Amino acid sequence: SSFGQLPEPDFVFSLHNIPKLPAGSILLKNDIFTASVKSWAIKLEGKTAHAASPEHGVNPAVAISELIQKTQALIQPDPENADFQLITPIHINMGELAYGISAGGAEVHFTIRTWQNDRIYALTKTLEGLLETICQKHGLKVSWEWLEEFYANQNHPEAMKWLRQVAGNHEFNIQELSSPFKFGEDFGLFTTKFKGAMFGLGAGENLPELHNPDYDFPDGIAPIGIQMFESLIREITISS
């Protein structure tokens, strides 16, 4: 690299504010904190025909219906289960608004989620095989790509020890989570390479959900996050 040797941190830490939990609370979870997530963009190519004679073309609609039904059958929705996996249909675009034409092509998009990075890899292979089988059955050409990959945040035991110590020293309201969060987070890439942990910072029980248009970050919790990071730096530096 032209920037020279990249730093090798002793620990990496991150926080994410979480609405619907008490403002200023510190949310801790051993092992996995957020999910492994990937997005799947699929293109199906058939053949248009007159809507009065769809048998002269190859319409992707039935294949899409079958794909959605079979992917939904693979879901394990319980977040308390180690085998948790979620497959969410996101977008479908098929044919055009011309009532005399039987559709000849489509796009279908999903996101998939598991708790483990190796499990999501296995799920991608299962889904690719399922898609190829369905498209072969229905005479469709198919291509796909995997997008927006997020690695699961794997909280390291040593990093968790420091989080508990620092939050306890400040007498913050510690809440132990029973299951990880189902959203994906960029920080998961860091915890695949370094000892680290992500923790949550409660944003308030009456706040709208994340990514809701009415959501507004409560500035009053920011000093607690700052104190957590500052104390982590001080305590770990002193100990070393």
Q: pLDDT over 90 for what percent of the chain? A: 86
User: What pLDDT shows up at residue 208?
Assistant: 66
pLDDT tens digits, 127-155: 999 999 999 999 999 999 999 999 999 99
pLDDT above 70 for 239? yes
Q: How confident is the model at residue 46 (pLDDT cuts 50, 70, 90)?
A: very high
Mean pLDDT over 8-35 rounds to 94
pLDDT tens digits, 162-209: 999 999 999 999 999 999 999 999 999 999 999 999 999 998 888 767
Structure tokens at 135: 């498209």
Backbone phi, then psi, for 165, in 5-degree steps?
-65, -50
133-151 residues labelled b (16+ CB within 10 A) or e (exposed) = ebbeebebebebeeeeebb
Measuring CA to CA, how many Å separate 52 from each of 55, 60, 96, 101, 103?
Answer: 9, 16, 15, 8, 12
User: What pLDDT shows up at residue 135?
Assistant: 98
Rounded Cα–Cα distance for residues 109 and 60 (Å): 14
pLDDT above 90 for 236? yes
User: What pLDDT shows up at residue 4?
Assistant: 62
User: What pLDDT shows up at residue 207?
Assistant: 74
pLDDT above 50 for 1? no
pLDDT above 50 for 108? yes
pLDDT tens digits, 49-93: 999 999 999 999 999 999 999 999 999 999 999 899 999 999 999
Mean pLDDT over 115-131 rounds to 96
The pTM of this model reads 0.86
Contact predicate 127/71, CB 8 Å:
yes
